[in-house]
Structure 1
Amino acid sequence: MHDMLHKSDNALPNGVGVGYKAQHFSNILDNADPVTWLEIHAENYMGAGGRPIAQLRALSDRFPLSVHGVGLSIGGEGRLDPDHLSRLKHLVSWLNPASFSEHLAWSTHDIDGAGAYFNDLLPLPYTDATLARVCDHVSEVQDTLGRTMLLENPSSYLAFDESTWDEVAFLTEVTRRTGCGLLLDVNNVFVSATNMRLDPRAYIDSFNHAAVGEIHLGGHDADEDDHGAPLLIDSHGREVADPVWALYAHTIAVGGPKPTLIEWDNDVPAWDVLAAEAARADALLAPVPA
């Protein structure tokens, strides 16, 4: 099955991308430096047409694009939504992006026979049953799209007692069984490690860097749990924090240069603020030997 999968010809460059927001359309066309590629959220472009699709077509003529899904619920207990998957296939077919990715998380659940959707991407226990389900879902997505997808590590706020795999081993096994790649979200690593009192560098050192097709960087908010201990929330609504920059520098030193995205989805700033974050990433990424 894996031999039938393919990636598109316009692979993402080992440079910096940003999550595209419509208010930045003119800025990007006027001067995108140092941004070399763009990411869109699939669910924003599943309509029939209009200005969003027209802008997306214009951008696709100028930049390699990454499509990032947030609604498939790869870790969910039920089957994947066939209508959602069909709309995703249509988008990917005409756009032919350089990359498609989704989260290792769940956002849908069957409650009393009715489907419920949660706005948050929720973590899942790492068990043999979960592994089999995730692999089935990843394989279904790849078979439907006719391309290799990337699976993103989640941000976690607690550990499940029933977990029998650690996260890195779980992700590595998914890649072995399905042939998928990985999206390494460095902010998620820092958030999870802080919340669960783990060593983020040890996580990075053990990660399957050979499977990484993309890196994400984003901002987080700091809070406290009921015991006064630090609790970080993956918010995508502010600058990348200094310790995440340090962890990113360690990541590319260990795993080599990878296409790197600045995620800023909430309280979206003016273009010059976002471009400055991209420039900071580029300054770290550009000198790293391939």
Structure 2
Amino acid sequence: MTDSILFTTGIGWRHPHYASLLEARPELDFLEVHSENFFAPGGAARAVLQEARQTYPISLHGVGLALGSAAGIDPWHLAQLAALVERIEPVRVSDHASFARGPWGGTTVHAADLLPLAFHRQSLDVLCANVQQVQDRLQRVLLVENLSAYVSFSSSDMDEAEFLGELASRTGCGLLVDVNNIYVNALNARLAGSTDDPVRACMAWMERLPPHAVAELHVAGHKDCGDIVIDDHGSRVCDPVWQIYRHALTRFGGAPQGLATLVEWDTDIPPLQVLLDEAARARAFQAHAEEVPA
């Protein structure tokens, strides 16, 4: 590590905290919102976002671009995103390495879910083309996030980390590494019979990514349902995820663009102070990472 390292920390800003955050104006480096919630021009939602923008940089995180869809990018969706980006001038724009759009009954439909991709060359070609289209339209780098996936394809040409690394290399996009997603996948792999230690498996996954492509980390809580682990973003970050996060800071902290951390909480949303406490814990780990020599 060097003194030039830049860590920033933010929280996901959801409707229950709109008023309390604008009243308290806590010390945060950025706020993240879901892009699609603010597509409508004008109205109360856009007004509250623009008010927050006066104090905080805004990160736009999408769930609907369906970047891996062979049916391509929905022109209307991309147009709405481009208009929002122009209006808000976000610090980052991101979405997921997933598909959701496809033909059904003579038309193209959206599954309203983040469906996993097969890690094949053909899937990579589709993903690269769609990511490049979005970047060309927005005239900025897009960050692409790894999924928590509850099904997988029986064969592939590469593993997920190699797949995402190839995407970054070919398109120049950035990567958003969701630490909780990696851990959820590792826990579900163990339930399916894997003997790998989940924490070590997550760290090994990170080692296969190009470190300078990673611009943001997400941390969140998840739910163990017994026969499956769900990425529900409904609780505090658990200790194993923090352990993996600390490894991520040392692995990706030297990125020239800096490294952002987002605390996500989307269900069973607690008082704002709970999210701020989680953000403070992330900052504490960052401070320790800055003291570790390269």
**TM-score, normalised on structure 2?**
0.88
Aligned: 1:244 with 2:245: no
Who is 2:267 aligned against? 266
> C-alpha root-mean-square deviation of aligned residues, in Å?
1.7
Partner amino acid for 2:92? S
Contact 1:107 1:121 in 2 (8 A): yes
Counterparts of 2:132 and 2:246 in 1: how far apart (Å)? 32
Who is 1:50 aligned against? 43
Who is 2:84 aligned against? 91
Aligned positions of 1:190-229 closer than 5 A: 190-196=183-189, 197=194, 199-225=201-227
Aligned positions of 1:105-116 closer than 5 A: 105-116=98-109
Aligned positions of 1:64-83 closer than 5 A: 64-83=57-76
CA offsets, 1:35-91, max 9 Å, x none? 221001110000021121111111111111110111010011201100111011100
Counterparts of 2:226 and 2:48 in 1: how far apart (Å)? 41
Who is 2:122 aligned against? 129
CA offsets, 1:96-152, max 9 Å, x none? 101000100112222232333223211111001000000000000000111110010
Partner amino acid for 1:233? I
Counterparts of 1:157 and 1:32 in 2: how far apart (Å)? 38
Task: Report the CA distance between 1:157 and its aligned residue.
Answer: 2.4
Counterparts of 2:100 and 2:281 in 1: how far apart (Å)? 33
Counterparts of 2:152 and 2:134 in 1: how far apart (Å)? 27
Q: Identify which range, 131-140 or 212-221, moves more after superposition.
A: 212-221
Who is 1:235 aligned against? 232
Q: Secondary structure at the match of 2:29?
A: strand
**TM-score, normalised on structure 1?**
0.89
Contact 2:246 2:289 in 1 (8 A): no
Q: Secondary structure at the match of 2:93?
A: strand
Who is 2:3 aligned against? none
Task: Report the CA distance between 1:32 and its aligned residue.
Answer: 4.2
Partner amino acid for 2:33? I
Counterparts of 1:253 and 1:32 in 2: how far apart (Å)? 30
Indicate how the Cα distance of structure 1 residues 56 and 201 shifts in structure 2: closer, same or farther if over 3 A, else same.
same
Contact 1:158 1:195 in 2 (8 A): no
Contact 2:145 2:177 in 1 (8 A): yes
Contact 1:17 1:37 in 2 (8 A): yes
Q: Which runs of 5+ in 1 are unaligned?
A: 1-12, 226-230
Counterparts of 1:89 and 1:110 in 2: how far apart (Å)? 25
Contact 1:101 1:183 in 2 (8 A): yes
Task: Report the CA distance between 1:19 and its aligned residue.
Answer: 0.8
Counterparts of 1:58 and 1:103 in 2: how far apart (Å)? 27
Runs of 4+ in 1 over 4 A off after TM superposition: none
Q: Identify which range, 109-118 or 75-84, moves more after superposition.
A: 109-118
Q: Secondary structure at the match of 1:126?
A: coil
Who is 1:4 aligned against? none
Partner amino acid for 1:268? I
Counterparts of 1:207 and 1:34 in 2: how far apart (Å)? 31
Task: Report the CA distance between 1:34 and its aligned residue.
Answer: 4.5
Counterparts of 2:158 and 2:67 in 1: how far apart (Å)? 18
Contact 2:100 2:115 in 1 (8 A): yes
Q: Identify which range, 94-103 or 27-36, moves more after superposition.
A: 27-36
Q: Secondary structure at the match of 1:288?
A: helix
Partner amino acid for 2:174? G
Contact 2:59 2:93 in 1 (8 A): yes
Contact 1:126 1:167 in 2 (8 A): yes
Counterparts of 1:94 and 1:136 in 2: how far apart (Å)? 26
Q: Which runs of 5+ in 2 are unaligned?
A: 1-5
Count of residue pairs the alignment pairs up: 273
Partner amino acid for 1:135? C
Percent of pairs with identical residues:
39
Partner amino acid for 2:251? V
Counterparts of 1:32 and 1:285 in 2: how far apart (Å)? 22
Counterparts of 2:206 and 2:55 in 1: how far apart (Å)? 33
Aligned: 1:276 with 2:269: no
